[in-house]
Amino acid sequence: MSRTGHRPRHLERIEEVLTGRRPEKVRYPIRVRRTEVVRTTTVGAGLLRVTLGGPGTEGFEAHSPIDHVKLLFPEPDGSLRLPEPDGDLLKWPRPAPTSREYTVRRYDPEAGEIDIDIAPHEGGLASDWAQRVRPGAVLHVAGPPGGLIVPPVYDRYLLVGDITALPAIARWLEELPRDAKGWAFIEVAGAAEQIELSAPAAVEVRWLHRGDRPAGTGDALERAVTAVPVAEGERLYAWIAGEAGQIKPLRRWVRDELRLDRGDHEITGYWKRGIADFDDEH
């Protein structure tokens, strides 16, 4: 409740969208939170989970499977520059502070814990930090700024991604209605990177193994996904994320073959080979 006793407007708006027919992005009040590392654990062979806690997590919100936060890191000289509160927004310093964006895998308000799953890779800022960090270390987190709220009105769902999208896909599968139907395609290096998923019974999960092929290369994901038998007349929602170049053909497929309405799909390049801190504006 707010101080006036009224329900915050963004929570009312989320309920409105969930009872409607179209997905919409809903903005939340944005905060910078001082958190502490509680523990790190491995999730399969491909993800490292950093659990954050402390008083700064109180009041955190994550209402969508693809909610994301910015992890704020010290500059090369050791200084830490943080955005300042500006009403329900943040005022960011220029140049922008060093940060990396990650999906909120889990928020447990009772435990006061936030889980962030990171795919370790050589030379990655957040990856290197996560592999060496110890409990008690302080990390400032900004966001989430808002979330894409998808009402449960679709006949089928199509979820697609690589290891970097796995945390979001895992949360999607947990939060879909239990009678939901559809497919989830996840490309990983091999069986060791597969994890347990809480998918609805009628959502088929297909793991694709790339083997020794470098991450973000090849067309195995494209070939598997475009073979999906989308029935005429069914309403489909598609969510696709991963390496920007690898999912580019899927953008075209969704647009030219499936011809989904703009609101019925979300396609995001989470990373791009050879580019640090890639930002996909699509």
Minimum mean pLDDT range among 128-132, 184-188, 199-203, 277-281 = 277-281
Q: Is the dihedral of CA 204, 209, 215, 217 positive or negative?
A: negative
Residue 222 has a CB neighbour count (10 Å cut-off) of: 18
> Which pLDDT score is estimated for 279?
56
Residue 161 has a pLDDT of 98
- Write down the number of H helices and E strands in the chain: 5, 16
- Residue 43: what pLDDT? 97
Average of pLDDT values for 92-113? 96
pTM above 0.85, yes or no: yes
- Span 82-95, mean pLDDT? 95
Cβ-based neighbours of 274, under 8 Å, separated by 6 or more: none
| Banded pLDDT at 282 (limits 50, 70, 90) | very low
Q: With bands split at pLDDT 50, 70 and 90, how would you rate the model's confidence at 7?
A: confident
Contact 112, 57 (CB under 8 A): yes
Q: What's the confidence (pLDDT) of residue 243?
A: 95
- pLDDT tens-digit readout, 127-179: 999 999 999 999 999 999 999 999 999 999 999 999 999 999 999 999 999 99
pLDDT at 123: 83
How many percent of the chain have pLDDT more than 70?
96
Quote the pLDDT of residue 121.
85
The CA distance from 193 to 167, in Å, is: 12
What the chain holds in terms of domains, given with CATH numbers, is 9-147 (2.40.30.10), 152-271 (3.40.50.80)
pLDDT of residue 83: 97
Q: 35 with 140: CB under 8 angstroms?
A: yes
Closest CA to 39 of 109, 123, 113, 107: 113
Tell me what pLDDT residue 278 has: 59
Q: What percent of the chain has pLDDT over 90?
A: 91
Confidence class of residue 224 from pLDDT cuts 50, 70 and 90?
Answer: very high
Rg over alpha carbons for the chain, rounded to the nearest Å, is 19
**What pLDDT was estimated at residue 1?**
44
What is the pLDDT, as a whole number, of residue 280? 54
Report the pLDDT value the prediction gives residue 190, as an integer from 0 to 100: 97
- The confidence score (pLDDT) of residue 85 equals 94
Mind listing the pLDDT tens digit for each residue in 17-60?
999 999 999 999 999 999 999 999 999 999 999 999 999 999 99
pLDDT of residue 213: 93
Write out pLDDT tens, residues 113-125. 999 999 998 888 9
